[in-house]
Structures are given as C-alpha cells and as structure tokens.
Homo-oligomer: A and B are copies of this chain.
C-alpha cells in the first residue's frame, strides 16, 4: 500500500485493522492515506483477517483503480527491451517477472493469452509494488505484430533448444523477449514469430530453470 501511494495508480479505499495505528510505520501510512484523501475504514482484527487472503496480513488492504495501459502508451527509447509473457500461469512467477522487468528498465511487459491476470492479488503481492509503476498490461499477438513492425522490435525467445546464451554477442537495439509456460514452454503463436531462440546453458540432468530466474538472466545479459 505504501508503494501504491507513491505511484500514479489511484487508491480508492482502504481497510485497516486496529494494530496498524500502533506502529510508527502504520501510523505514517494512515497519515499518507488521509493526505491522499483515500476513504479509510477500520474494522476489528477478526473482521480484517476474514478480508485478507494471506496468513499473516499486515493490517492494511487497499483498492486501487487498474490503470488504462496499452501498447499505444509505451514510450520506446532507441535501445529498449520488452517482456512478453506467453502463458505464464503461476501468479508468483508472473509477479516476480514483473518485479524483474521493472528492475532491468524494461519498457513494458505484455501478458499474452494464457497468462494469469496481472491484477490477481497474488501477482500484485509477488510484484512487490512494481506493478504500480512498471507499464504492464494484457495484449494480443495481433496487436504485437502491428507494434513490432511499426517500432522495429526484434522478437527473441527463451528456449532450451535455442543458441547458447554465451555465444550470443549481438543483441538488437530493440528486443522483445518472450518467455513461455512453466510446463510446456513457448506456444506455437510465439514460435511462429521468433527471430532467434536463446538457451541458458545448464547442467546435464537438470530439466530447466524457473521462468523468472531465466528471464532475469536474459534481461540482465541483454540490458540496453
């Protein structure tokens, strides 16, 4: 909620428990909520627990307006990276991917069909605030086709069957990196659009890396 209030996303309403006001950090947050003219409603600890869906809630829940974002609103510098999520189903992975994309200055993250809703509460929590600042939204393959043609974006994919990463020395000025489903990898729609596929070399006998770890390594290596 602190991150939400520091972001351009509009907070509409907050639910708090009595414990919040007891800590210095909690009471500063309450002040910030009032300063931003957010409607705050305090309920008992018991009622609060029934509204929170975590085991150890921190005494504050907020409702924010999902920002209107699309590819049209993305500002693309001459050297840029984008991240395309192709059927990422685990909300923890999706949130960690958003956090990672924000950390490496990715211009936008696009959730393609089959990917979990980016505003799912577990995704929001795993993204630890990055979703409020980082341009992330859902999109279609067709919209991406138009965008990449207009903006000269090369589409590369993370794929264990691709070229080894340590042999790739010439990343393009503008690249969209596609990462695929946790179990089945890249979709047919992704494969049909890829210019290059890159593999992170891993030890024999190990099946794969976690998708957010793989994306982190590739976004670091290909940082603009």
A220 in contact with B206 (CB, 8 Å): no
Q: With contacts A216-B217, A217-B220, A220-B200 known, is A209 near B100, CB below 8 A?
A: yes
Smallest beta-carbon distance A90→chain B, Å: 10
A210 CB–B CB distance under 8 Å: yes
Complex CA distance for A105 and B209, rounded to whole angstroms: 12
Give the A interface residue count (CB, 8 A). 27
Q: Among B99, B105, B210, which residue has its beta carbon within 8 angstroms of that of A100?
A: B210
Smallest beta-carbon distance A21→chain B, Å: 22
A147 CB–B CB distance under 8 Å: no
Contact string, A161-204, partner B, CB cutoff 8 A, digits 1/0? 00000000000000000000000000000000000000010110
Q: With contacts A217-B220, A220-B200 known, is A99 near B209, CB below 8 A?
A: yes
Q: Among B96, B103, B207, which residue has its beta carbon within 8 angstroms of that of A206?
A: B103
Q: Among B103, B133, B202, B208, which residue has its beta carbon within 8 angstroms of that of A209?
A: B103
Chain B hits for A208, CB < 8 A: 103
Complex CA distance for A208 and B100, rounded to whole angstroms: 9
Smallest beta-carbon distance A211→chain B, Å: 10
Extra contacts besides A99-B209, A100-B210 (16): CB < 8 Å:
A92-B92, A96-B212, A96-B213, A102-B203, A102-B206, A103-B209, A104-B203, A105-B203, A128-B207, A129-B207, A133-B205, A212-B212, A212-B213, A214-B216, A216-B217, A217-B217
Q: Which residues of A are in contact with B by a Cβ distance under 8 Å?
A: 92, 96, 99-100, 102-105, 128-130, 133, 200, 202-203, 205-210, 212-214, 216-217, 220
